[in-house]
Amino acid sequence: MVYKDGTRAVEGISFSVDEGEFFGFLGPNGAGKSTTIKVLTTLLRKTSGRVSVSGYDLDESPNDIRRSMGVLTQETSLDVDLTGWENLHLQGRLQQLHGKQLDERVSELLKLVQLEDVAKKPVGRYSGGMRKRLDLASALIHNPKMLFLDEPTTGLDAQSRTAIWEYLEDLNKNHGITIFLTTQYLEEADRLCRQLSIIDHGKLIAKGSPSELKKALGGDTIALTLGPSVRAKAKEVLSTIQGIYSVLDSETGVAAYAKNAGQIVAEVVTTLDRNDIHPSFLSISSPTLDDVFLEKTGRRIRSEELLRKETEPFLM
């Protein structure tokens, strides 16, 4: 996908998602996640390649795709002048529902996302979490087989985020809805997705289930908090210890990777002590998806999250 100004947003990616899957696209901002989801959901015309969604070809039957999918865009797109009920009702009408069937579906969804009490209030008076839940309900109005979610919890507080996660898990497990989700949150990808693709600079860099991806790293992380002056020395010393196969810089010091970190941690401490290096903090952890990203790109997702820009309108 190449934009008019020549930016190559996504290039040479290929993947498939099975029916009933919970599939995630993990990557930092600007990786190409939103571009991919815009192409898949018919909002953006791709410059080359082939896409098929729910068995329909993107170029030939975009309206069939629109009928079979629900989309939750990154920014909450509701009409703040209308009530919750009116928003769902309008969305239902535009998805070609009508009459009693539509009224019943609206009530059912308001109940599902626990907004029945405020259904008659204008959305302008809803909190961020309530709006996101209503937006999710509106994406489900026409009983789609597939749900696309573009960073569904970005900007939400922890409680609202957990609520959205629970709804999504329920929809996937108990209603058989295939879910395609993009996220920059490691925890979200780890908890929800059964299959994951990691994307960076418009290219797919890893594929697999979260546990497979972590296992492939093959070891634990020993994170050491150290002052900048001793980091180089620490890296040199640590790499001589048997069992440690890689030592990398981290934001607060260095990170050493080993198969069974618990068994060599004593040696790590004594070796550093002998060399007059005294870490102010030491922790051992099993690999995370962030380690997977670090291994593939040499950067961490976490630090990039902090530089996150304001979300832009979904439509380019």
| Contact residues: another protein, CB under 8 A | 41-43, 45, 63, 66-67, 71, 73, 75-79, 81-82, 86, 90-91, 93-96, 98, 122, 138, 313-315
Nearest approach, Cβ of residue 38 and another protein (Å)? 9
Between 148 and 293, CB nearer to another protein: 148
Alpha-carbon gap, residue 270 to 149, rounded angstroms: 49
Nearest approach, Cβ of residue 267 and another protein (Å)? 55
- Contact assessment for residue 9 and residue 1, using Cβ atoms and an 8 Å cutoff: yes
Between 94 and 232, CB nearer to another protein: 94
Between 122 and 129, CB nearer to another protein: 122
Nearest approach, Cβ of residue 115 and another protein (Å)? 18
Nearest approach, Cβ of residue 25 and another protein (Å)? 18
Nearest approach, Cβ of residue 212 and another protein (Å)? 33
CA distances, 183 to each of 118, 142, 188, 295 (Å): 29, 24, 7, 19
Q: Tokens 């810089």 label which residue?
A: 249
Between 158 and 315, CB nearer to another protein: 315
